[in-house]
């Protein structure tokens, strides 16, 4: 199964919807250990993407993602803006001019996204950030891909690992981002950025499920 530019548009619409649905929830998570704006920030960014989605429908996947990157960078702000913005930008690099990609290419793009996040934020796993959802998710993706899973199976494994990753952030002590100012008091709370990353993987899975 190939993923085409229409699927990417659908994925973006689903992701935007999920972010909007969980706006309050993400903000609430961020109130506990941050400054209470993560849901608001993410929703502002994805709403911006949605506002010009129609101009993207006939574009190649690289262009779509690069345009999303610019929208996120220039509207989200906060820590998550440059991080997700850089993620989309890095993901777009290998997809320029392509209207269809396979699961191998998707994995490469996702790995590039993670690399972008780490270049920008200088965090590693275990610091209670979005990386704690994304890194294990990509490992699960790769394993399932190698063991010959179907696209939906691959993304089911990815989402499950992301979910596990989100849960793992609860007992962590934050050492990057705003939550790190709390020191030990950050322990016991779920990381908002990891949670939004999980939602985005879920949007990918649902897009593929509808396709088959």
Partner 1 sequence: MKKIINKPEDVVKESVEGLGLAWSEIVKVNYEPMFVYRADAPVNNKVAIISGGGSGHEPMHAGFVGYGMLDAACPGEVFTSPTPDQMYEAAKKVHGGAGILFIVKNYSGDVMNFEMAADMLKAEGIDVENVIIDDDVAVKDSLYTQGRRGVGTTVLAEKICGAAAEKGYDLKKLAELCKKVNGWGRSMGMALTPCTVPAAGKPTFELAEDEMEIGIGIHGEPGRERMKIKSADEITEMLAEAIIEDLPFKEGDEVLAFVNSMGGTPEIELYIVYRKLYKILESKGIKIARKLVGRYITSLEMQGVSITLLKLDDELKELWDAPVKTPALRWGI
Ligand X SMILES: Nc1ncnc2c1ncn2[C@@H]1O[C@H](COP(=O)(O)OP(=O)(O)O)[C@@H](O)[C@H]1O
The binding site for ligand X (CB under 6 A) comprises: 30, 34-35, 37-38, 41, 78-80, 83, 117, 121, 123, 129-131, 176-178, 191-194
Tell which residue, 10, 95, 7, has the closest CA to residue 50. Answer: 10
> Does residue 169 bind partner 1 (CB under 8 A)?
no
76: β partners: none
Q: Among residues 13 and 125, whose Cβ is nearest to ligand X?
A: 125
Stretch of residues binding Mg ion (CB under 5 A), selected from 17-25, 57-65, 76-84, 167-175: 76-84
User: Segment 28-47, which members bind Mg ion (CB under 5 A)?
Assistant: 30, 34-35, 37-38
125 in contact with partner 1 (CB under 8 A): no
The pattern of x and - marking residues 78 through 97 that bind partner 1 according to CB under 8 A reads xxxxxx-xx-----------
**Is the alpha carbon torsion for 92, 46, 178, 170 positive or negative?**
negative
Yes or no: say if 27 and 37 are a contact pair by the CB < 8 Å rule: yes
Of 57, 97, 52, nearest to 72 by C-alpha is: 52
Residue 117 near residue 86 (C-beta atoms within 8 A)? yes
Give the residues lining the site for Mg ion (CB under 5 A): 30, 34-35, 37-38, 78
């Amino acid at each position: 199964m190939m993923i085409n530019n229409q699927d990417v548009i659908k994925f973006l619409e689903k992701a935007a919807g999920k972010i909007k649905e969980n706006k309050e929830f993400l903000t609430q998570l961020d109130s506990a250990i941050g400054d209470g704006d993560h849901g608001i920030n993410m929703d502002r960014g994805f709403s911006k993407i949605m506002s010009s989605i129609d101009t993207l429908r006939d574009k190649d996947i690289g262009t779509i993602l690069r345009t999303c990157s610019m929208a996120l960078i220039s509207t989200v702000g906060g820590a998550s803006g440059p991080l997700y913005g850089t993620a989309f930008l890095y993901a777009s690099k290998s997809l320029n001019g392509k209207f269809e990609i396979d699961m191998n290419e998707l994995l490469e793009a996702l790995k590039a996204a993670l690399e972008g996040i780490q270049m920008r934020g200088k965090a590693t796993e275990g610091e209670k950030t979005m990386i704690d959802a994304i890194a294990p998710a990509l490992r699960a993706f790769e394993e399932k891909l190698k063991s010959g899973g179907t696209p939906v199976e691959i993304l089911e494994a990815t989402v499950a690992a992301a979910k596990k990753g989100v849960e793992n952030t609860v007992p962590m002590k934050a050492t990057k981002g705003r939550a790190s100012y709390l020191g030990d008091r950050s322990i016991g709370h779920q990381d908002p950025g990891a949670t939004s990353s999980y939602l985005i993987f879920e949007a990918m899975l649902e897009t593929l499920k509808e396709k088959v």
